[in-house]
Amino acid sequence: MSNLGIPSRESNYADWYNELVLKADLADHSAVRGCMVIKPHGYALWENMQRALDDMFKATGHVNAYFPLLIPKSFFEREAEHVAGFAKECAVVTHHRLIEKPDGKGLMVDPNAKLEEELIIRPTSETVIWNSYTKWIQSYRDLPILINQWANVVRWELRTRLFLRTAEFLWQEGHTAHATYDEAETEALTILDVYRRFAEDWMAVPVLTGLKSENEKFAGADHTYCIEALTQDVRAIQAGTSHHLGQNFAKAFGTQFQSAEGKLEYVYATSWGVSTRLIGALVMAHSDDKGLVCPPKLAPIQVVIVPMGRDEAARALTHPVADRIAQELIDLGIRVKVDKREKESPGFKYNYWEMRGVPVRIELGPRELESGQAVLARRDTGEKATVGLERVAEFARDLQATIQQSLRDRALAFREANTHRVDTWEEFAALFEGEGGGGFVVAHWDGTSETEEEISKRTKATIRAIPLKPLIPSDGEPGVCVLTGKPSKQRVVFAKAY
């Protein structure tokens, strides 16, 4: 019995999250520490995310390509900051053959099959990609290059959590090359906006957009933009990043082009990515103690129909009606599932699909057939409605948009209720006291890394974003740093982060 449900968010947020991911059938642990199996239900969610994002990339002029998993170690030696950022968490391939052990019991690495140069399993692909770009780019006419790839990467993280931080994860990484700084800047901001729109319109997760501080920016970037969401335990979660790499990689790889004026110049670059971490952010934004709550636009199954009937004769009546409504829904473009399992009780099925986050359930039993009406239940609010059978499909279709909007409104209201503006250190420290989050804390900062580090040391909060536009007009006014009292140009957003 006890293994049917999940812990409540209140009792133990971390356990709640973990159990939810497992019980909602999104993912499972694998044999290797920190790696996860993404199960069909979780992968379907990822596929829906991919499709939406991929369409948005294409619509902004990008094309897909694929670069190799293995990268020569020497490539990483070329960009100093980049190496420093990733060296500590690399998986390295050193050999290419296994042989039987001398005692015949099992396999061993063949010492004679050592690679001349070790290969790194990509933690990110800037280096392989720039190795190619250098060959591809001769002239300003070869620019811009606007390529994205869908791939897996490996980062040997010390501490992992399903979806939020796994040793291997799936993501997309865009890598673009431009003739000018301004064009690269526009690209980085275009993608930032794509990410913001995806989070808000598809995931129903409102995000802050902004610049990362020097401490938080990508290893090898000139500057980094990000989207940041707020979880239900009031921590920040970085949901996507877009980096302006300046000429750093072009200089490291010698990527030059001849301008229209005939001068040799270094290329400007961007890179940007979102990963399966988005699934973690989505879970943490909307789900509840009954399991996953999935925004309809991304839900693998948008409507589940539960036909009821205590015997064969009753099922012979309800099943065809369920099938008919399912077909109507399919025709309306809705992803639908009819749960005809006979051994499971209706109550079991309700809980089962609620755990898996299906936005709308249609209950269809003898009573409904008799009255010519079906019962629809909303996953997000639990509300039930009774609707004439002729209108059920359209009603369920329309509910999708309602729920999508409602989830977003709710998440936005939650974020606003957990965004605090403070001006004194006492208030600031009080918000971050203890184990919990603290929400988004909008405060003045003197702009130095030293101050950010000191604040982080004292409170565990870091700067999540330096807003590009003030969240409210007064955020853009000058003030004094919440810690040092030194002058500050604008407020920035602090939070404890995942």
Which residues of the chain form contacts with RNA (CB under 7 A)?
1-5, 14, 18, 29, 31-34, 85, 88-89, 123-124, 155, 157-162, 165, 216, 218-219, 238-241, 273-275, 277, 290, 308-311, 342-348, 350-352, 354-355, 363, 365-368, 375, 377, 382, 384, 435, 460, 497
SS (H, E, C) the chain: CCCCCCCCCCCCHHHHHHHHHHHCCCEEECCCCCCEEECHHHHHHHHHHHHHHHHHHHHCCCEECCCCCEEEHHHHCCCHHHHHHHHHHCEEEEECCEEECCCCCCEEECHHHEEEEEEEECCCCHHHHHHHHHHHCCEHHHCCEEEEEEEEEECCCCCCECCCECCEEEEEEEEEEECCHHHHHHHHHHHHHHHHHHHHHHCCCCCEEEECCCCCCCCCCCEEEEEEEECCCCCEEEEEEEEEEECHHHHHHCCEEECCCCCEEECEEEEEEEECHHHHHHHHHHCECCECCCCCCCCCCCEEEEECCCCHHHHHHHHHHHHHHHHHHHHCCCCEEECCCCCCCHHHHHHHHHHCCCCEEEEECHHHHHHCEEEEEECCCCCEEEEECCCHHHHHHHHHHHHHHHHHHHHHHHHHHCEEECCCHHHHHHHCCCCCCCCEEEEECCCCHHHHHHHHHHHCCEEEEEECCCCCHHHHCCEECCCCCCEECCEEEEECEC
Q: Of 83 and 274, which CB lies nearer to RNA in the complex structure?
A: 274
Q: Of 137 and 377, which CB lies nearer to RNA in the complex structure?
A: 377
Q: Could you tell me the smallest distance in angstroms from the CB atom of residue 309 to RNA?
A: 7
Q: Could you tell me the smallest distance in angstroms from the CB atom of residue 176 to RNA?
A: 16
Q: Could you tell me the smallest distance in angstroms from the CB atom of residue 282 to RNA?
A: 12
Q: Could you tell me the smallest distance in angstroms from the CB atom of residue 366 to RNA?
A: 4
Q: Of 82 and 178, which CB lies nearer to RNA in the complex structure?
A: 82
Q: Could you tell me the smallest distance in angstroms from the CB atom of residue 324 to RNA?
A: 17
Q: Of 451 and 488, which CB lies nearer to RNA in the complex structure?
A: 451
Q: Of 90 and 482, which CB lies nearer to RNA in the complex structure?
A: 90
Q: Could you tell me the smallest distance in angstroms from the CB atom of residue 363 to RNA?
A: 4
Q: Of 258 and 351, which CB lies nearer to RNA in the complex structure?
A: 351
Q: Of 28 and 426, which CB lies nearer to RNA in the complex structure?
A: 28
Which tokens go with 337? 């599932």
Q: Could you tell me the smallest distance in angstroms from the CB atom of residue 325 to RNA?
A: 14
Q: Of 78 and 155, which CB lies nearer to RNA in the complex structure?
A: 155
Q: Of 346 and 447, which CB lies nearer to RNA in the complex structure?
A: 346
Q: Of 365 and 439, which CB lies nearer to RNA in the complex structure?
A: 365
Q: Could you tell me the smallest distance in angstroms from the CB atom of residue 379 to RNA?
A: 9
Q: Could you tell me the smallest distance in angstroms from the CB atom of residue 64 to RNA?
A: 19
Q: Could you tell me the smallest distance in angstroms from the CB atom of residue 17 to RNA?
A: 8
Integer-rounded Cα Rg, in Å, for the chain is 26
In angstroms, the CA 442 to CA 490 distance is: 10
